[in-house]
Amino acid sequence: MSLLDALPTPRLGRGKHPNAVLVSLSVTMLAAVWVLDAASVAANRIVQATGVSAMDAIGWPGVLLASLLIIAVGGLAYQPSRTNYWAALGVVVLILALMPFGLMVAGHFLIDPELPQARLGIGAGYWVLLFILMLCLIELRLKLALRRLWPVVILSSIGLIWWLCASLWLSDLALIQEFKARDRQFIQAALEHILLVSVAVSISIVVGTLLALLMRRFVKLQKSAFALLNFLQTIPSLALFGLLLAPLAWLAANVPILAQLGVSGIGNTPALIALVAYSLLPMVRNTYIALEEVSPDTLEAASAMGMRASQRFWQVRLPLALPIMLEGVRITTVQAIGLTAVAALIGAGGLGTFIFQGLGQAAMDMVLLGALPILILALVVDAGLGALAEVLRPGGVR
């Protein structure tokens, strides 16, 4: 062995390499601030809105502040450490908290008080910045190994700030004006959306759990059941709604009891059937895997303690499988929240009504009025059920 081989090889310290993800996201955010329109202005709801740059919307002090904060995120990511990641997380949260105040400043500069119908729209640069900040939150949560409850707390706090700003000072915002013009319809649509998702997911949990148990008991059922559930996933949602229309209409016309129960070719019935059909695969798959993956050694130890089969299932197998089963519920619920929007096309109601009405009227703010609550609801459910599954996982609470 040579002398060079005997010398110790120098190692780079951990965390010395720049975080390429955060640095790239910071550069993209800077480009969004300086290149894309931050807002848009229209004299009323009918005329075409005019895009406005960030410099014209919030002035050079606002652009300078936004740029410095974004550069701070990239600078902290360039020399990554746990301390710098925490600092970057604080800066990202600060930017998110300041964004509604930027809209307030833009409204003050751009909206003429003598034009009561004038509207302030949110520009592409604003949406891009918001989306990338969410990606930064995800990256920082992974790097800091934060529990899923943290995003819930952070987003809830930021959401409260946004809600207060929207309620008190953002009356010129086009999205707020659309909401005020349809507040009762919006609340009713939101309740319909949540109710339809809740019923569909509840049925999926019951049917999916029973089917998973049957598949465990009758092994030959497993292949055919998964094949059928996979086939249902391949059918486009609109096509499935169309396939259900004719048979349900025939049943409603020929079976008076079903007609009295509200069964028809359009409305909630085909929407509910389609949602349950699409929800079964993730529910059954996660439940089946969760029950099968329980350690045989644990079950053997339970048997050695004198537990009967039913006791082993309810006291050992099910509690250990519950976190993975909740992951199936999470996937099912988030999927159902999105698919319910499409159900508005067949008269099922829900927030999708605003999306398709807005598309028909070329009113993008009405589209956002339906799309944004769906997105927020999906994020809240995803984070909440994910945090609950993490807590229930063995060793999850520290």
Which of 155, 176, 197 lies at the terminal end of a domain, its last residue?
176
The whole domain housing 37 covers 20-176
DSSP 173: B
Domain termination residue (choose one: 128, 154, 176): 176
Is residue 373 in some structural domain? yes
Q: What is the CATH number of the domain that holds 231?
A: 1.10.3720.10
Domain count, the chain: 2
Assess whether 136 and 230 both reside in one domain: no
One-character DSSP codes across 102-157: HHHHHHHHH--TT-TT-EEEEPHHHHHHHHHHHHHHHHHHHHHT--THHHHHHHHH
240 and 366 both lie in a single domain: yes
- Amino acid identity for residue 359 in this structure: L
Residues 329 and 254 in one domain: yes
Q: Are residues 25 and 117 in the same domain?
A: yes
Pair (189, 318) in one structural domain: yes
On whether residue 77 sits in a domain, the answer given is: yes
DSSP string, 14-68: TT-S--HHHHHHHHHHHHHHHHSEEEEEESSSSSPPEEEEHHHHHHHHHHHHHHH
* Among candidate residues 129, 152, 176, the one where a domain is terminated: 176
- Based on the domain organization, do 164 and 204 belong to the same domain? no
Distances from the Cα of 91 to the Cαs of 78, 86, 88, 97, 121, in angstroms? 15, 9, 5, 10, 26
Q: Do 129 and 67 contact (CB within 8 A), yes or no?
A: no
pTM metric for this prediction: 0.82
The structure tokens listed for 86 are: 């925490």
Are 133 and 148 within one domain?
yes
What is the C-alpha to C-alpha distance for residues 162 and 184, in angstroms, rounded to an integer?
21
Q: Which residues contact 80 (CB under 8 A, 6 or more apart)?
A: 15, 16, 17, 18, 19, 22, 143
In a domain, 5, yes or no: no
**Are 290 and 351 within one domain?**
yes
Whether 42 and 171 share a structural domain: yes
Say how far apart CA 164 and CA 152 lie, in whole Å. Answer: 18
Decide if 381 is inside a domain. yes
Residue 283 inside a domain? The answer is yes
Find out whether 211 and 229 touch, Cβ atoms under 8 Å: no
CB atoms within 10 A of CB 381: 18
* 332 and 245, same domain (yes or no): yes
Q: Could you list the pLDDT tens digit for every one of the 398 residues in the chain?
A: 443 344 444 443 444 688 999 999 999 999 999 999 998 888 777 777 888 899 998 989 999 999 999 999 999 998 888 999 999 999 999 999 999 998 898 888 888 777 777 888 888 999 999 999 999 998 998 898 887 777 778 888 888 888 888 888 888 888 888 888 888 999 999 999 999 999 999 999 999 999 998 988 888 888 888 888 888 888 888 888 888 888 888 887 877 787 777 777 787 888 888 899 888 988 999 988 888 888 888 877 888 887 887 788 888 888 888 888 888 899 999 999 999 998 888 888 889 999 998 888 878 888 888 999 998 899 888 888 888 888 777 655 44
In whole angstroms, how far apart are CA 278 and each of 223, 288, 293? 18, 17, 24
Is 8 contained in some domain? no
**Within-domain flag for 156:** yes
Q: Are residues 156 and 215 in the same domain?
A: no
CA dist., res. 261 & res. 99, Å (int): 48
DSSP code string of 35-49: HSEEEEEESSSSSPP
Please check whether residues 24 and 156 belong to one and the same domain: yes
Does any domain span residue 143?
yes
